[in-house]
Amino acid sequence: MSRVTVLDHPLIKHKVSILRDIHTGTNEFRKIVSEISTLMAFEVTRDLTLEEYEVETPLEKCTGYKLSGKKLGLVPILRAGLGMVDGMLSILPSAKVGHIGLYRDPETLKPVEYYVKLPSDVKDRDIFLLDPMLATGGSANDAIVSLKERGCKSIRLINIIAAPEGVEAVQKAHPDVDIYIASLDRELNDHAYILPGLGDAGDRLFGTK
């Protein structure tokens, strides 16, 4: 069973509350999504492996550390996942970025895939799959299947807000994928929106409503 880690650091909780607020405008929403993503990157990368090397300070030699494991790949689910990329890249500048385009059909609520472009060596990378919202889990599950079909073996799912239904769906379909979230909300409504949630993340990020 995949692990679910709730990153409830006070700074993250403070910023998630600003995102939820109906009065938060597009500019601030975009900035705060990016800031939360940077804070989440700190925790999601906690188990990356290091190797020692010798560093010469102005005073003496000492042991330094550099990242030694697999290279990283950030894969936002379009559109809303795009809002998380810059915040992650700000502390993981060497990561490559792929894109998976999915939208939820408003009638069926099922995801429809319309675009996939990934780094050529994606199967050799540790993948961070980014989407602010995990509602039914349909989009995340489809994106994970897309990545696995292309050979990816190490995938972590990073969401800002998740519904219990979505977490359960991903855990059931992909027990090998660990999930990192900033908040586990109460439930989905009849239109599969997360309650209390923050509304439509894509629309709030890009000002399309």
Smaller CB separation from ligand PRP, 62 or 115: 115
State yes or no: residue 198 binds ligand PRP (CB under 6 A): no
Element housing 25 (H / E) = none
Is there binding between residue 80 and ligand PRP (CB under 6 A)?
yes
- Helices 26-44 and 10-20 sit at what angle, rounded to 10 degrees? 150
Smallest distance, ligand PRP to C-beta of residue 204, A: 10
Q: Which two tokens stand for residue 169?
A: 């769906």
Contact call for residue 144 and ligand PRP (CB under 6 A): no
- Residue 185 falls in the annotated catalytic set: no
Task: Answer with the entry of ligand URA, ligand PRP, none that 194 interacts with (C-beta below 5 to 8 A by kind).
Answer: ligand URA
Backbone conformation region of residue 9, classed left if phi is above 0, alpha if psi is from -120 to 50, else beta:
beta
The candidate with the shortest Cα–Cα distance to 184, out of 196, 172, 176, 169, is 196
47 tagged catalytic: no
User: By CB under 6 A, is residue 138 in contact with ligand PRP?
Assistant: yes
Q: Alpha-carbon distance 22 to 129, whole Å?
A: 27
Element holding 64 (H helix, E strand): strand 61-67
Nearer of residues 44 and 167 to ligand PRP, judged by Cβ: 167
Task: Based on the residue annotation, tell me whether 38 is a catalytic residue of this protein.
Answer: no
The entry of ligand URA, ligand PRP, none that residue 197 binds, CB within 5 to 8 Å by partner kind: ligand URA
